[in-house]
Structure 1
Amino acid sequence: MSGGDAGPRLRLAELVAALSLGVDLGFGQPMEHVLRQCLIALRLAERIGLDDEERVAVYYTALLVNVGCHSDAHEQAKWFGDDIALKAGKYRYEQRSLAGAVAAVRLIGSGNPPLHRFRVGLEFALGGFHEVDRMISGHAALATSLAGRLGLPDSVRRAVAASYEQWDGRGWPGEVKGEAVPIASRLAQLAEFTEVAHRVGGTAAATALAERRAGSQFDPRLVAVLCRDADAVLGELDEVHTWEAVIAAEPALGVWLGGEQFERALLAVADFVDLKSPYTLGHARAVADLVDAAAAGLGLAEDQRTQLRRAALLHGLGRLGVSNAIWDKPGPLGTGERERVRLQPYLTERMLCQSPTLAPLGAIAVQHRERLDGSGYPRGLTAPAISRGARILGTADAYRSMIEPRPHRDALTAPQAAAELRAEAAAGRLDAEAVTSVLAAAGHRVPRRTTGPAGLTGREVDVLRLLARGLSNKAIASRLVISPKTARNHVEHIYAKIDTSNRAGACLFALEHGLLPQAEAATE
Structure 2
Amino acid sequence: MNLRQDPVASLSALSSVLDLANGLEGEKSLLTGLFALELALDGGLSEDDARAAFYVGLLRHLGCTAYAAEESRLGNDVHLRRNLLRGDAGRPEHVVRSVLDANPSLPRRAVGLARLLTSSRRLRSEWFAEACGAARLLASGLGLDTRVLQGLDEAYERWDGTGGPRLLGGTDLHEVGRVAQAAHVAVVFFVGSGTAVAQEALALQSGTTLDPAWAKRAMAETASLQTLSDARIEAAEECLLESPPTIDATALATTFGDFADLQSPFTRGHSRRVAEACASAAPRLGLDAAEQATLQLAAYLHDLGHVTLPTGLWLRPEWTPSDREASRAHAHATEQLLTATPMLRDAAKLAGAHHERLDGGGYPRGLAPAALSRAARLLAVADVWVALQEERPHRPARTAPLARHALEAEVKAGRLDADCVAVVAGTKHVRRAPGPGPTSALTPREVDVLRLLAGGATNKEIAEKLGVSDRTVQHHTIHIYEKLGVSTRAGASLVAARTGIV
Deviation digits for residues 301-325 of structure 1 (CA, Å, limit 9, x no counterpart):
2222122112101111111111111
Identify the match of residue 51 of structure 2 among 56, 62, 73. 56
- Given that 2:15 and 2:59 are in contact with CA atoms closer than 8 Å, whether structure 1 keeps it comes out as yes
User: Which residue does the alignment assign to 2:86?
Assistant: 92
Alpha-carbon offset, residue 247 of structure 1: 6.0
Residue 262 of structure 2: aligned partner: 275
1:43 is aligned to 2:33: no
Q: How many Å apart are 1:438 and its aligned residue? A: 1.7
Q: Do 1:35 and 1:243's aligned partners in 2 also have CA atoms closer than 8 Å?
A: no
Once the 2 structures are TM-superposed, how far is the Cα of residue 190 of structure 1 from its aligned partner?
1.7
In the alignment, what sits opposite 1:255?
245
1:216-227 counterparts in 2 under 5 A? Answer: 216-227=208-219
Q: Is the 8 A contact 1:276 1:320 kept in 2?
A: yes
Residue correspondence of structure 1 range 102-501 to structure 2 within 5 A: 102-106=96-100, 110=103, 114=107, 122=114, 124-232=116-224, 234-237=225-228, 250-258=240-248, 262-335=249-322, 337-442=323-428
Assess if the C-alpha contact under 8 Å between 1:32 and 1:242 holds in 2.
no
CA distance, structure 2, for counterparts of residue 394 and residue 315 of structure 1: 10
Deviation at 1:209, TM superposition (A): 1.8
Q: Structure 1 residues 98-107 or 82-91, which shifts more? A: 98-107
**Kept after mapping to 2: 8 A contact 1:321/1:344:** yes
Deviations 1:242-275 (A, max 9, x none): 99997666252312345xxx43453233223211
CA contact (8 A) 2:75 2:99 kept: no
User: What are the ranges of 5 or more consecutive residues in structure 1 without an aligned counterpart?
Assistant: 1-9, 445-524
* Secondary structure of the structure 2 residue equivalent to 1:169: coil
Q: Report the alpha carbon displacement of residue 15 of structure 1 after superposing the two structures with TM.
A: 4.9
Matched-pair contact (CA < 8 Å) for 2:182–2:218 = no
Contact preservation (8 Å) 2:10, 2:343: no
1 CA distance for matches of 2:236 and 2:75? 34
CA distance in 1, matches of 2:236, 2:363: 32
CA distance in 2, matches of 1:137, 1:72: 9
**How far apart in 1 are the matches of 2:371 and 2:233?**
29
Structure 2 vs 1, CA of residues 99 and 151 (structure 1 numbering), >3 Å: closer, same or farther? same
Change (3 A) 1:113 1:227: closer
Which amino acid letter does the alignment assign opposite residue 327 of structure 1? W
Contact map agreement 2:80 2:99 (CA 8 A) in 1: no
- Partners of 1:200 and 1:326 in 2: how far apart? 26
Residue 231 of structure 1, CA deviation: 3.1
The amino acid of 2:382's aligned partner reads A
In structure 2, relative to structure 1, the CA distance for the partners of 1:226 and 1:150 (3 Å cut) is same
1: CA distance, partners of 2:383 / 2:236: 33
Alignment-mate amino acid for residue 118 of structure 2? L
For the 8 Å contact 1:93–1:99, the answer to whether it is kept is: no
Amino acid at match of 2:159: W
3-state SS in 1 of match to 2:227: coil
Instruction: Give the aligned partner of residue 441 of structure 2.
Output: none
Q: Output the CA distance in 2 between the equivalents of 1:244 and 1:281.
A: 38
Distance 1:223 1:127, change over 3 A: closer
- The TM-score normalised by the length of structure 1 is 0.75
Q: Whose Rg is larger? A: 1
Deviation, structure 1 residue 359: 0.5
**Partner residue in 2 for 1:74:** 69
Return the offset for 1:58: 0.5
**1:58·1:184 contact (CA, 8 Å) conserved in 2?**
yes
2 CA distance for matches of 1:401 and 1:248? Answer: 44
How big is each residue's C-alpha offset from its partner over 1:362-394, in whole Å with a ceiling of 9 and x where there is no partner? 121011111122211112222222222111101
Structure 2: runs of 5 or more not aligned: 431-502
- Whichever residue aligns with residue 256 of structure 1, its letter is T
Q: Distance in 1 between matches of 2:110 and 2:198?
A: 38
Residues matched between the structures, number? 426
The aligned amino acid for 2:37 is L
Root-mean-square deviation (Å): 2.7
1:21–1:127: structure 2 CA closer, same or farther, 3 Å change rule?
same
More deviation, 168-177/27-36 = 168-177
Structure 1 stretch displaced more, 181-190 or 402-411: 181-190
CA contact (8 A) 1:11 1:255 kept: no
**d(CA) in 1 for partners of 2:425 and 2:351?**
20
The 1:278–1:144 alpha-carbon spacing in structure 2 relative to 1, beyond 3 Å, is: same
Cα contact 1:52–1:251 (8 A) shared by 2: no
CA distance in 1, matches of 2:146, 2:182: 22
* Cα distance in 1 for residues equivalent to 2:360 and 2:231: 35
Q: Do the aligned partners of residues 247 and 363 (structure 1) sit closer, same or farther apart at CA in structure 2, a change above 3 Å counting?
A: farther
Q: Give the Cα–Cα distance (whole angstroms) in 2 for the partners of residues 345 and 244 of structure 1.
A: 33
- Offset of 1:196 from its aligned partner? 2.4
Q: In 2, distance between residues paired with 1:334 and 1:225?
A: 51
In structure 1, distance between residues paired with 2:321 and 2:120: 28
Q: Equivalent residue for 1:469?
A: none
Give the counterpart letter for 1:63 in structure 2.
L
Output the CA distance in 1 between the equivalents of 2:158 and 2:414: 57
Structure 2 Cα separation of the partners of residues 370 and 341 of structure 1 = 14
Deviation (angstroms), 1:417:
1.7
- Paired with 1:333 and 1:414, the residues of 2 have a C-alpha distance of 29
Q: Structure 2 CA distance, aligned partners of 1:105 and 1:256?
A: 40
Q: What is the rounded CA distance, in whole Å, between the counterparts of 1:350 and 1:372 in structure 2?
A: 23
From the superposition, tell whether residues 23 and 271 of structure 1 become closer, same or farther in structure 2 (CA, over 3 Å).
same
Sequence identity, in percent?
32
Distance 1:275 1:443 in 2: 23
